[in-house]
Structure 1
Amino acid sequence: MALSGKLIGYVDVSKDSDVFHEFFRHDPRKMIAITPDRVHDCELLEGERGAVGSIISWQYTHEGKKKVAKNIIESVNEKNHMIVFKVVGGELVDELYKRFTIIFHVEPKGDKQVAAWTFEFERPDTSVPYPISLMDYICNLTKDLDAHHITK
């Protein structure tokens, strides 16, 4: 029996979808300078930065521990500024989950913008928790990036 799950987080942001789409797809290395306590490196391992099929290795600190996640850009929707990352290596899939996908997009909410993060995952058994602290981490990272752009 599969223990599939989905977790969605929303963050009100002051900037439009283009800013965040650029960060997470084309220029993620800027995050290292903005949030060095959270993101330490973002290395392109294969393909062209931002292209579907490219593989990226992220080094970050979560819950006080340095971690690695290797992601492949599975799909991109330019119109909706959506990026789908499939996690193919690192602690998330090597030690915890059978499958883990991260979907990011920014959507209008009235006269504001909302960054939406969706985690789709499969747990091997009930002892593996829902990735709530990881969602908190990514939402707080988004807030930090947005705050940086408010001051610029």
Structure 2
Amino acid sequence: MGLKGKLTVEKEIKCHGDVFPDLFRHNPHHLANIIPNHIQSCDLLEGEFGDLGSVSLWKYTDEGKEKYIKTVIEAIDEEKKLVKFKAAEGDVLQIYKEYTTTIHVDINGDDHLVTWTIAYEKLREDSPDPISLLNLAINMTKEIEAHHAK
């Protein structure tokens, strides 16, 4: 059994796809107001929001438990509307040796597709796959879409 894995989900949205890279890259601190049952806060620790290498501290809820993660923006591709976060500290690193989340948006005419990719390496073979975190991404997508469709 392998220790490395990748989970991906694609979700079509009705709101404009630019919303996602803008929120998660430039305005993650606004997420606590938009989806407070998932994200309680996002505080900038180093750099500027949206800059490569910037460090943020997120407080979030996963499976009914409050957790935290310190992330570093590891990659940005403005043309592909992509931002990749790497875990530098936090609850996920108690289970995974490495953990990254990538948010990517495809816009084709009126079709807008958000893709979440979670790449990870488990600390132990019996560690669970991060299915709950993928479900968190799906639920956040639905609620962000609903908020922006108002």
Task: Place the TM-score, normalised by the shorter chain, in its bin.
Answer: over 0.9
Aligned length: 150
Deviation at 1:139, TM superposition (A): 1.1
When the two structures are superposed, what TM-score results if normalisation uses the length of structure 2?
Answer: 0.95
C-alpha distance in 1 between matches for 2:111 and 2:59: 31
C-alpha distance in 2 between matches for 1:124 and 1:27: 32
C-alpha distance in 2 between matches for 1:142 and 1:4: 25
Deviations 1:3-49 (A, max 9, x none): 11000011111122211111000011221111111111100000111
Letter in 1 for 2:54: S
Letter in 1 for 2:53: G
List gaps (5 residues or longer) in structure 2.
none
C-alpha distance in 2 between matches for 1:81 and 1:109: 13
C-alpha distance in 2 between matches for 1:81 and 1:59: 24
C-alpha distance in 2 between matches for 1:85 and 1:142: 17
Corresponding residue number in structure 2 for 1:99: 98
Q: RMSD of the alignment, in Å? A: 1.4
Which runs of structure 2 are paired with 1:1-152 in the superposition (5 Å)? 3-93=3-93, 95-108=94-107, 111-151=110-150
Are the counterparts in 1 of residues 106 and 113 from structure 2 also a CA contact under 8 Å?
yes
Are the counterparts in 1 of residues 2 and 125 from structure 2 also a CA contact under 8 Å?
no
Task: Quote the sequence identity (%).
Answer: 39
Moved over 3 A (4+): 108-111
The secondary structure found in structure 2 opposite 1:145 is helix
C-alpha distance in 2 between matches for 1:109 and 1:120: 26
The secondary structure found in structure 1 opposite 2:23 is helix
When the two structures are superposed, what TM-score results if normalisation uses the length of structure 1?
Answer: 0.93
C-alpha distance in 2 between matches for 1:27 and 1:44: 10
